[in-house]
Amino acid sequence: MSSRDAIRLELLRSAPLGSWVALSDDESRIVATGATYSEVAERSERAGEPDPLIIKTPEQWSHFSL
């Protein structure tokens, strides 16, 4: 696993389960979280992040992803 992948995985693990998460365009920080995609997209834009990576976290982490 590359260091960039490890950083992204650590960020996602720190985010609330079952939520939408926006990462900065360099994927080094979480810029927004929320219950819906549109909510996170709006929050990202207000945070000044024009091109975030938006993904949904799982309801629970499997032991394969730890």
Confirm whether pTM is higher than 0.85.
no
- The rounded distance, in Å, linking the Cα atoms of 46 and 1 is 32
Q: pLDDT for 7-49, tens place per residue?
A: 888 888 889 999 999 999 988 899 999 999 999 999 999 999 9
Domain definitions of the chain by residue range: 3-65
Question: Which residue blocks in the chain are alpha helix, DSSP H?
Answer: 3-14, 37-46
Structural contact between residues 35 and 22, judged by C-beta atoms closer than 8 angstroms: no
